Structure 1
Amino acid sequence: LIWTAGRLVVAGPDTHAFEVDPRNRGSCAAIRFAPGTAPVLLGVPAHELRDHRIDLTELWPRRAVAALTGRLARSADPAAALEEFALARSSETGPPDPLTAAV
Protein backbone atom coordinates (compact mmCIF):
# COMPACT_ATOMS: atom_id res chain seq x y z
CA LEU A 1 0.00 0.00 0.00
CA ILE A 2 1.67 3.18 -1.22
CA TRP A 3 0.83 6.77 -0.24
CA THR A 4 2.07 9.06 -3.01
CA ALA A 5 0.94 12.36 -4.52
CA GLY A 6 -2.09 12.48 -2.21
CA ARG A 7 -3.45 9.08 -3.16
CA LEU A 8 -3.25 5.48 -2.02
CA VAL A 9 -2.08 2.90 -4.52
CA VAL A 10 -2.24 -0.85 -4.09
CA ALA A 11 0.75 -2.69 -5.52
CA GLY A 12 -0.19 -6.27 -6.14
CA PRO A 13 2.27 -9.17 -6.01
CA ASP A 14 4.75 -8.95 -8.86
CA THR A 15 6.00 -11.72 -11.09
CA HIS A 16 8.60 -9.43 -12.70
CA ALA A 17 10.33 -6.11 -12.09
CA PHE A 18 8.08 -3.06 -12.12
CA GLU A 19 9.33 0.32 -13.31
CA VAL A 20 7.65 3.40 -11.92
CA ASP A 21 6.52 5.89 -14.54
CA PRO A 22 8.77 8.99 -14.31
CA ARG A 23 5.68 11.18 -13.87
CA ASN A 24 4.83 9.24 -10.70
CA ARG A 25 8.24 9.40 -9.07
CA GLY A 26 8.52 11.41 -5.90
CA SER A 27 8.27 11.07 -2.18
CA CYS A 28 6.05 8.36 -0.81
CA ALA A 29 5.29 6.29 2.25
CA ALA A 30 4.52 2.62 1.89
CA ILE A 31 3.84 -0.51 3.83
CA ARG A 32 4.59 -4.05 2.70
CA PHE A 33 2.42 -6.80 4.11
CA ALA A 34 3.60 -10.24 5.17
CA PRO A 35 2.60 -13.06 2.79
CA GLY A 36 -1.12 -13.73 2.88
CA THR A 37 -1.92 -10.58 4.86
CA ALA A 38 -2.88 -8.09 2.12
CA PRO A 39 -5.81 -10.13 0.77
CA VAL A 40 -7.34 -10.23 4.25
CA LEU A 41 -6.73 -6.54 4.96
CA LEU A 42 -7.79 -5.30 1.53
CA GLY A 43 -10.59 -7.78 0.92
CA VAL A 44 -9.30 -8.83 -2.51
CA PRO A 45 -7.62 -12.10 -3.53
CA ALA A 46 -3.93 -11.59 -4.32
CA HIS A 47 -4.22 -13.10 -7.80
CA GLU A 48 -6.63 -10.32 -8.82
CA LEU A 49 -3.93 -7.75 -8.10
CA ARG A 50 -0.97 -9.65 -9.57
CA ASP A 51 1.33 -7.34 -11.57
CA HIS A 52 -1.01 -4.36 -11.13
CA ARG A 53 -0.92 -0.93 -9.50
CA ILE A 54 -4.40 0.42 -8.79
CA ASP A 55 -5.92 3.18 -6.70
CA LEU A 56 -7.41 1.95 -3.44
CA THR A 57 -10.65 3.66 -4.54
CA GLU A 58 -11.08 0.82 -7.04
CA LEU A 59 -11.33 -1.63 -4.15
CA TRP A 60 -12.90 0.33 -1.30
CA PRO A 61 -15.66 2.92 -0.98
CA ARG A 62 -14.47 6.44 -1.81
CA ARG A 63 -15.56 7.73 1.60
CA ALA A 64 -13.35 5.22 3.44
CA VAL A 65 -10.38 6.00 1.20
CA ALA A 66 -10.94 9.76 1.57
CA ALA A 67 -10.91 9.42 5.35
CA LEU A 68 -7.64 7.50 5.25
CA THR A 69 -5.96 9.81 2.73
CA GLY A 70 -7.04 12.80 4.81
CA ARG A 71 -5.50 11.22 7.88
CA LEU A 72 -2.24 10.59 6.02
CA ALA A 73 -2.18 14.11 4.58
CA ARG A 74 -2.53 15.63 8.07
CA SER A 75 0.08 13.39 9.62
CA ALA A 76 3.60 14.61 10.34
CA ASP A 77 4.74 11.04 9.63
CA PRO A 78 2.58 9.41 6.93
CA ALA A 79 4.56 6.15 7.13
CA ALA A 80 3.78 5.81 10.84
CA ALA A 81 0.12 6.69 10.20
CA LEU A 82 -0.05 4.07 7.46
CA GLU A 83 1.40 1.48 9.82
CA GLU A 84 -1.10 2.45 12.54
CA PHE A 85 -3.92 2.04 10.03
CA ALA A 86 -2.68 -1.42 8.99
CA LEU A 87 -2.37 -2.58 12.59
CA ALA A 88 -5.86 -1.32 13.44
CA ARG A 89 -7.31 -2.90 10.29
CA SER A 90 -5.66 -6.24 11.09
CA SER A 91 -7.37 -6.28 14.48
CA GLU A 92 -10.72 -5.94 12.64
CA THR A 93 -10.17 -8.51 9.89
CA GLY A 94 -8.52 -11.49 11.49
CA PRO A 95 -5.42 -13.49 10.61
CA PRO A 96 -4.23 -14.44 7.13
CA ASP A 97 -4.64 -17.93 5.74
CA PRO A 98 -2.20 -20.07 7.81
CA LEU A 99 -1.21 -22.10 4.74
CA THR A 100 -0.12 -18.96 2.88
CA ALA A 101 1.79 -17.71 5.89
CA ALA A 102 3.55 -21.08 6.20
CA VAL A 103 4.61 -21.04 2.54
Structure 2
Amino acid sequence: MYAERPAPAGLACLWTRTVSSETVQRVVPDGCTDLMWTPATGALFVAGPDTRAQLASVAPGTLYGVRLPPAFPSVFGVPASEVRDLRVPLAELVPSARLTSFSEMVSFCASRVDVDPSVAATAALLRSSDVRSAAWDIGLSERQLRRRCLDAFGYPPKVLQRVLRFDHAMRLAWAGRPFASIAADAGYADQAHLSREVRALAGVPLGQLIRP
Protein backbone atom coordinates (compact mmCIF):
# COMPACT_ATOMS: atom_id res chain seq x y z
CA MET A 1 0.00 0.00 0.00
CA TYR A 2 1.32 3.41 -1.01
CA ALA A 3 0.07 6.65 0.56
CA GLU A 4 1.02 10.32 0.28
CA ARG A 5 0.34 13.22 2.60
CA PRO A 6 1.13 16.95 2.49
CA ALA A 7 4.63 18.06 3.40
CA PRO A 8 5.97 21.17 5.15
CA ALA A 9 6.51 24.21 2.95
CA GLY A 10 9.27 23.73 0.43
CA LEU A 11 8.96 19.94 0.14
CA ALA A 12 6.96 18.09 -2.52
CA CYS A 13 5.26 15.43 -0.38
CA LEU A 14 5.68 12.82 2.34
CA TRP A 15 4.92 9.20 1.55
CA THR A 16 4.91 5.68 2.94
CA ARG A 17 4.91 2.29 1.23
CA THR A 18 3.88 -0.75 3.25
CA VAL A 19 4.13 -4.38 2.10
CA SER A 20 3.32 -7.56 4.02
CA SER A 21 5.80 -9.80 2.19
CA GLU A 22 9.00 -9.34 0.26
CA THR A 23 8.30 -8.06 -3.23
CA VAL A 24 10.02 -6.56 -6.25
CA GLN A 25 8.67 -3.24 -7.44
CA ARG A 26 9.32 -1.36 -10.66
CA VAL A 27 10.25 2.27 -10.03
CA VAL A 28 9.94 4.45 -13.13
CA PRO A 29 11.43 7.89 -13.86
CA ASP A 30 9.36 10.79 -12.55
CA GLY A 31 11.84 13.68 -12.39
CA CYS A 32 12.00 13.52 -8.58
CA THR A 33 14.51 12.66 -5.89
CA ASP A 34 13.60 11.14 -2.55
CA LEU A 35 15.15 10.64 0.86
CA MET A 36 14.05 7.24 2.20
CA TRP A 37 14.20 5.55 5.59
CA THR A 38 13.63 1.93 6.58
CA PRO A 39 12.97 1.72 10.35
CA ALA A 40 13.66 -2.03 10.54
CA THR A 41 17.27 -1.62 9.41
CA GLY A 42 17.87 2.09 10.00
CA ALA A 43 18.90 2.43 6.36
CA LEU A 44 18.69 6.05 5.19
CA PHE A 45 19.43 6.72 1.56
CA VAL A 46 18.88 9.12 -1.31
CA ALA A 47 17.16 7.86 -4.47
CA GLY A 48 18.54 9.95 -7.30
CA PRO A 49 16.65 10.97 -10.43
CA ASP A 50 16.20 7.99 -12.74
CA THR A 51 16.58 7.82 -16.50
CA ARG A 52 15.26 4.26 -16.69
CA ALA A 53 13.18 1.87 -14.64
CA GLN A 54 14.70 0.43 -11.47
CA LEU A 55 13.65 -2.91 -9.98
CA ALA A 56 13.70 -2.56 -6.20
CA SER A 57 13.48 -5.43 -3.73
CA VAL A 58 11.21 -4.31 -0.88
CA ALA A 59 11.28 -6.13 2.47
CA PRO A 60 8.13 -6.55 4.60
CA GLY A 61 7.31 -3.44 6.61
CA THR A 62 7.00 0.26 5.94
CA LEU A 63 9.35 2.45 3.91
CA TYR A 64 9.15 6.20 4.65
CA GLY A 65 10.02 8.86 2.10
CA VAL A 66 10.36 12.60 1.60
CA ARG A 67 9.95 13.69 -2.02
CA LEU A 68 12.00 16.75 -2.83
CA PRO A 69 11.43 19.62 -5.23
CA PRO A 70 14.21 20.47 -7.73
CA ALA A 71 16.46 21.93 -5.04
CA PHE A 72 18.91 19.06 -4.70
CA PRO A 73 22.18 20.98 -4.15
CA SER A 74 20.79 22.95 -1.20
CA VAL A 75 19.76 19.77 0.63
CA PHE A 76 22.65 17.43 -0.13
CA GLY A 77 25.46 19.75 -1.21
CA VAL A 78 26.08 18.22 -4.65
CA PRO A 79 24.42 18.52 -8.07
CA ALA A 80 21.55 16.08 -8.61
CA SER A 81 23.41 14.68 -11.64
CA GLU A 82 25.98 13.10 -9.28
CA VAL A 83 23.40 10.61 -8.00
CA ARG A 84 21.48 10.06 -11.24
CA ASP A 85 20.26 6.44 -11.47
CA LEU A 86 21.84 5.72 -8.07
CA ARG A 87 20.73 4.91 -4.51
CA VAL A 88 23.24 6.54 -2.15
CA PRO A 89 23.45 6.37 1.67
CA LEU A 90 22.76 9.80 3.14
CA ALA A 91 25.97 9.55 5.18
CA GLU A 92 28.01 9.63 1.96
CA LEU A 93 26.50 12.99 0.99
CA VAL A 94 26.00 14.60 4.41
CA PRO A 95 28.31 12.83 6.90
CA SER A 96 27.09 15.01 9.79
CA ALA A 97 23.46 13.86 9.41
CA ARG A 98 22.34 11.68 12.33
CA LEU A 99 18.67 10.92 11.76
CA THR A 100 16.78 8.26 13.71
CA SER A 101 13.12 8.96 12.94
CA PHE A 102 10.83 10.04 10.14
CA SER A 103 10.14 13.38 11.83
CA GLU A 104 13.87 14.07 12.04
CA MET A 105 14.20 13.21 8.36
CA VAL A 106 11.42 15.64 7.44
CA SER A 107 12.91 18.39 9.58
CA PHE A 108 16.35 17.81 8.04
CA CYS A 109 15.00 18.28 4.51
CA ALA A 110 12.72 21.20 5.39
CA SER A 111 15.53 23.10 7.13
CA ARG A 112 17.93 22.75 4.20
CA VAL A 113 15.74 23.02 1.11
CA ASP A 114 16.06 26.28 -0.83
CA VAL A 115 13.70 26.38 -3.79
CA ASP A 116 14.61 28.72 -6.63
CA PRO A 117 11.36 29.82 -8.35
CA SER A 118 13.21 30.16 -11.65
CA VAL A 119 13.95 26.43 -11.60
CA ALA A 120 10.25 25.56 -11.50
CA ALA A 121 9.74 28.03 -14.35
CA THR A 122 12.44 26.21 -16.30
CA ALA A 123 10.58 22.91 -16.01
CA ALA A 124 7.31 24.53 -17.04
CA LEU A 125 8.89 26.00 -20.18
CA LEU A 126 10.54 22.72 -21.13
CA ARG A 127 7.17 20.99 -21.00
CA SER A 128 5.97 23.06 -23.95
CA SER A 129 9.06 24.47 -25.71
CA ASP A 130 12.18 23.17 -27.41
CA VAL A 131 15.46 23.64 -25.55
CA ARG A 132 16.64 26.65 -27.57
CA SER A 133 13.34 28.50 -27.15
CA ALA A 134 13.20 27.72 -23.42
CA ALA A 135 16.73 29.04 -22.91
CA TRP A 136 15.86 32.21 -24.84
CA ASP A 137 12.69 32.79 -22.81
CA ILE A 138 14.54 32.34 -19.51
CA GLY A 139 17.43 34.55 -20.62
CA LEU A 140 20.09 31.84 -20.50
CA SER A 141 22.46 30.33 -23.01
CA GLU A 142 21.83 26.68 -23.86
CA ARG A 143 24.97 25.79 -21.91
CA GLN A 144 23.71 27.66 -18.84
CA LEU A 145 20.32 25.97 -19.14
CA ARG A 146 22.02 22.57 -19.30
CA ARG A 147 24.02 23.34 -16.14
CA ARG A 148 20.89 24.49 -14.31
CA CYS A 149 19.00 21.33 -15.26
CA LEU A 150 21.86 19.03 -14.26
CA ASP A 151 22.22 20.74 -10.88
CA ALA A 152 18.53 20.87 -9.96
CA PHE A 153 16.98 17.90 -11.77
CA GLY A 154 19.94 15.64 -12.56
CA TYR A 155 19.11 15.54 -16.27
CA PRO A 156 20.22 17.53 -19.32
CA PRO A 157 17.30 19.51 -20.78
CA LYS A 158 16.25 17.06 -23.49
CA VAL A 159 16.22 14.13 -21.08
CA LEU A 160 14.25 16.24 -18.59
CA GLN A 161 11.69 16.90 -21.33
CA ARG A 162 11.33 13.16 -21.98
CA VAL A 163 10.92 12.34 -18.30
CA LEU A 164 8.38 15.12 -17.65
CA ARG A 165 6.35 14.06 -20.69
CA PHE A 166 6.47 10.42 -19.59
CA ASP A 167 5.38 11.34 -16.05
CA HIS A 168 2.46 13.35 -17.48
CA ALA A 169 1.46 10.37 -19.63
CA MET A 170 1.59 8.04 -16.62
CA ARG A 171 -0.72 10.29 -14.61
CA LEU A 172 -3.22 10.29 -17.46
CA ALA A 173 -2.95 6.52 -17.82
CA TRP A 174 -3.62 5.94 -14.12
CA ALA A 175 -6.67 8.19 -14.48
CA GLY A 176 -8.03 5.78 -17.08
CA ARG A 177 -7.56 7.87 -20.23
CA PRO A 178 -7.45 6.03 -23.60
CA PHE A 179 -3.90 5.57 -24.86
CA ALA A 180 -4.50 7.55 -28.07
CA SER A 181 -5.81 10.47 -26.01
CA ILE A 182 -2.82 10.23 -23.69
CA ALA A 183 -0.41 10.44 -26.62
CA ALA A 184 -2.05 13.61 -27.91
CA ASP A 185 -2.42 15.35 -24.56
CA ALA A 186 1.07 14.49 -23.31
CA GLY A 187 2.76 15.78 -26.45
CA TYR A 188 3.74 12.61 -28.31
CA ALA A 189 3.67 12.50 -32.10
CA ASP A 190 1.26 9.55 -32.03
CA GLN A 191 0.39 6.45 -30.02
CA ALA A 192 3.33 4.53 -31.49
CA HIS A 193 5.69 7.25 -30.23
CA LEU A 194 4.12 6.96 -26.77
CA SER A 195 4.59 3.18 -26.82
CA ARG A 196 8.27 3.45 -27.79
CA GLU A 197 9.01 6.00 -25.08
CA VAL A 198 7.22 4.00 -22.38
CA ARG A 199 9.22 0.89 -23.29
CA ALA A 200 12.46 2.89 -23.32
CA LEU A 201 11.89 4.53 -19.93
CA ALA A 202 9.87 1.88 -18.09
CA GLY A 203 11.04 -1.33 -19.75
CA VAL A 204 7.52 -2.68 -20.26
CA PRO A 205 4.42 -1.70 -22.30
CA LEU A 206 2.07 0.92 -20.85
CA GLY A 207 -0.77 -1.57 -20.37
CA GLN A 208 1.47 -3.82 -18.29
CA LEU A 209 2.87 -0.88 -16.35
CA ILE A 210 -0.53 0.28 -15.08
CA ARG A 211 -1.97 -3.19 -14.53
CA PRO A 212 -3.09 -3.56 -10.86
Give distance in 1, aligned partners of 2:53 and 2:75.
24
* Structure 1 residue identity aligned to 2:115: P
Cα distance, 1:28 vs structure 2: 1.2
1:41 and 2:75 matched: yes
Are positions 1:32 and 2:67 aligned together?
yes
What are the residue-to-residue correspondences of 1:47-62 with 2, within 5 Å? 47-61=81-95
- Structure of higher RCO (CA pairs closer than 8 Å, 6+ residues apart): 1
Return the letter of the residue paired with 2:66.
I
Q: Secondary structure at the match of 2:55?
A: coil
1:67-102 residue CA offsets vs partner (Å, 9 max, x unmatched): 22x3x1xxxxx2x44222211223xxx434x44322
Quick one: distance in 1 between partners of 2:84 and 2:48? 5
Name which of 85, 95, 98 aligns with 2:115. 95
Tell me which residue corresponds to 1:21: 57
Q: Which runs of 4+ in 1 moved over 3 A?
A: none
| Aligned-residue CA RMSD (Å) | 2.0
How many correspondences in the alignment? 86
Q: How far is the alpha carbon of 1:25 from its aligned partner? A: 5.9
Hey, what does 1:84 align to over in structure 2? 107
Structure showing greater Rg: 2
SS in 1 for 2:49: coil
- Higher strand content, 1 or 2: 2
CA 52–26 in structure 1, closer or farther in 2 if over 3 Å, else same: farther
**How many percent of aligned residue pairs carry the same amino acid?**
38
TM-score normalized by structure 1? 0.69
- In structure 2, what residue type is equivalent to 1:84? S
CA gap 1:45/1:81 in 2 versus in 1, 3 angstroms: same
TM score, norm. by length of structure 2: 0.36
